[in-house]
Structure 1
Amino acid sequence: MNKGILATITATAFAASLAVAAPASAAVTFDAATGNGFVGKGDVQLAAGWNNKQLQDNAAAVNFKAQTVSATEATWTCDRDAGPQTQARASTTTTTTSGVVSAIARERNQITGFVLSGYDGGDPVVEEERDGPAVGSCATGWTAINLVVGETEVLDSGLFLFVGGNLIGELAITPVV
């Protein structure tokens, strides 16, 4: 057989296998502030390695958890009340927000996705950790001046798929514009 024809057949077969191995996935939308959004069945199937029947059979065991980690930096100066002495101060507050997201299977003869309808129990759990003194704090006899609190920066944010309490993986979130 001609080497050029063999190379063309091999390349075509390889491209076809990629098309089968990488199914298109629907967009995952999620608002971390409210816990609302949508996860298409294709995203769950891709993450779990399921075919359609497996998704239909296991849909009741599917749940989602969200986590966002953000940081806020603050700087200020402490001015001594009794004289011209100052101290520069800085603090970084890292906030982790997490919660189980309520999901309702969207069904049209079969499950086609999951509507995310907010956090179970209302608000997510918020934990803060501070690196440095309390923002704006100074020793007795000192006054805080020039307090500057920076913008909050999101360091990491994710929506995670669980089945029967076991972590399956993180879902890629499509930003809402």
Structure 2
Amino acid sequence: MMRKTILGLVAIAAIAAPLAFASSASAAVSVNDAGVGHVDKSDVQLALGWNNKAFDNGAGTLNFTAGAEKITVDYPMSCFNLNTGAVTSGGHRLFVQSGMAAVEATPVLNLGNGRQITGFDLSGKSTGFTPAGSTVVRDVTCGADTVLFMNEGSPTQPGTMSVTGGLKVNGFDLPNTPVVVPAPVL
């Protein structure tokens, strides 16, 4: 009798394990550093601790955000080569503000009934930027063994924004979202 019970439990575990892993493996957050990609319903539910009913009731209140930075001022600079003494153009002194950016999300509807949301497509379009923390100075030199030398003209205020942190929904980290830190956009 004991042997049959143990064998029965082993059989149940063998069947249940792949099912448990299948549900977590089917979750998919795939978003690039520009904020373009897809988030499955199950990822949102996991992040917020929602069941299907809570998701259906709260789907209209979801806000997707990502860590971001905005270049507020860009000074064009010359660079001095420490080995050769040559002066070249192409450097930048950037004033960068960190913060959060809202990411535009379009619900993906179930093809069968056209009503239930199965996930969200993220367009990469930002609907706003909320500053957080202090502005920092970032120097971009002209290459190896160079330092910024002299200002080469008037600064610009490009307002260029890039995604620097993981994706969140209603302030909670989404699972499987890597933090991507792209090179500064000039």
Match of 1:153 in 2: none
The answer to whether the 8 A contact 2:104-2:126 is kept is yes
Q: CA offset at residue 128 of structure 1?
A: 5.8
- Go from structure 1 to structure 2 and tell me whether the alpha carbon gap of 1:43 and 1:124 turns closer, same or farther (over 3 Å shift): same
Q: CA offset at residue 159 of structure 1?
A: 0.9
> C-alpha distance in 1, partners of 2:108/2:45?
15
Q: Which runs of 5+ in 1 are unaligned?
A: 70-74, 81-92, 137-144, 150-155
3-state SS of paired residue (2:174): strand
Q: Deviations over 1:124-151 (max 9, x none)?
A: 86976358xx566xxxxxxxx93179xx
Of 85, 91, 115, the residue aligned with 2:121 is: 115
> C-alpha distance in 2, partners of 1:147/1:68?
28
- Would you say how many aligned residue pairs link Structure 1 and Structure 2? 136
Q: CA offset at residue 47 of structure 1?
A: 2.2
3-state SS of paired residue (1:171): coil
Match of 1:103 in 2: 105
> C-alpha distance in 2, partners of 1:65/1:7?
49
Q: Which runs of 5+ in 2 are unaligned?
A: 70-79, 86-94, 149-163, 179-186
Amino acid paired to 2:60:
A
> C-alpha distance in 1, partners of 2:98/2:14?
42
CA RMSD of aligned residues (A): 4.3
The answer to whether the 8 A contact 1:32-1:68 is kept is no
Amino acid paired to 1:160:
K
Match of 2:82 in 1: 77
Query: Normalising by structure 1, what TM-score?
Result: 0.54
Query: Normalising by structure 2, what TM-score?
Result: 0.52
> C-alpha distance in 2, partners of 1:169/1:47?
6
> C-alpha distance in 2, partners of 1:147/1:97?
30
Structure with higher Rg: it is 1
> C-alpha distance in 2, partners of 1:116/1:27?
13
Match of 1:31 in 2: 32
